Amino acid sequence: MAPRKTPAKPQRKTGVREAQAQASREAILRAATKVFARYGYDGGSVEKISRAAKSYDRMIYYYFGSKEGLFVAVLEGIYQRMDEAEAAMALDMARPVEALTEVIHFVLGYYRRNPDFVTLLNTENLHKGRHIAKSLRAREYSSRAVAVIASILESGAAQGLFRPDLAARDVYLLIAATGYFYMSNRYTLASFLGEQLEAPEAAQHWEAFVTETVLRAVRQDDSTESLPPHEETKKWQKSPPPASRARSSSRT
């Protein structure tokens, strides 16, 4: 009688374990993004992040090496998501004015729709960029963004629409600065100006002004007849208080 074979124990496939590990890592990243955005780098403890991710402290060290390594991964993640969203735009380089307008619309809109992006960049700037400086991927994302602007400017210059002496980096910074500053300072500016800058009408007004400003800056000639005049006063803007008007009118 042949000896009975012992049934082999079922083994998990390697692919299943890898998928579970990836899901665990992504859960930690999502939790860390929210915790760091809420508490900052110093206040975003490993304990808070592991609790929010329903994980364990040791898993953070296993996947990311340290709290700083996790924060760098969070910063890379927010840059990557913006890069992917920008890459999904269908830009017609043969129509550079429309393409540049679409880029402006995307950048300003992305900042408005992703306030955590702005908050996390504020946090890193408080630390003088010492964490993102250790990233090997950050430059990759910025290079792509500037390259898109460069292609648009090149097409515009070839058609005689844009100045040929423009640096794509400068135009990129102009667009990013106008969108970022508006969002990062929206609360203090709202109190300072007495206006609700997050109101849809206010955001649309600012985007129209930024678009006009950028297009004027890149135009080949000084003519602005084809650009719509920018309206200085909007319904959402409040008139200055009487005391302010009195001080202004008394100056000579």
Residue 3: pLDDT band (50, 70, 90) is low
Which pLDDT belongs to residue 236?
A: 40
Would the pTM count as exceeding 0.85? no
Contact (CB, 8 A) for 168 and 149: yes
Is the pLDDT at 166 greater than 60? The verdict is: yes
Per residue in 35-47, pLDDT (tens digit) is 999 999 999 999 9
Say what the pLDDT of residue 131 is.
93
Q: What is the pLDDT of residues 89-114, one digit of tens each?
A: 999 999 999 999 999 999 999 999 99
The answer to which of 65-69, 93-97, 198-202, 229-233 has the lowest mean pLDDT is: 229-233
Q: What is the mean pLDDT of the chain?
A: 85
pLDDT digits (tens, 9 = 90+) for 178-192: 999 999 999 899 999
- Between the alpha carbon of residue 102 and those of residues 69, 105, 125, 209, 248, the distances in Å are 35, 5, 28, 14, 39
* Amino acid at position 178, single letter: T
pLDDT of residue 230: 45
For residue 12, the model assigns a pLDDT of 53
Among residues 201, 251, 252, which one has the least CA distance to residue 231? 201
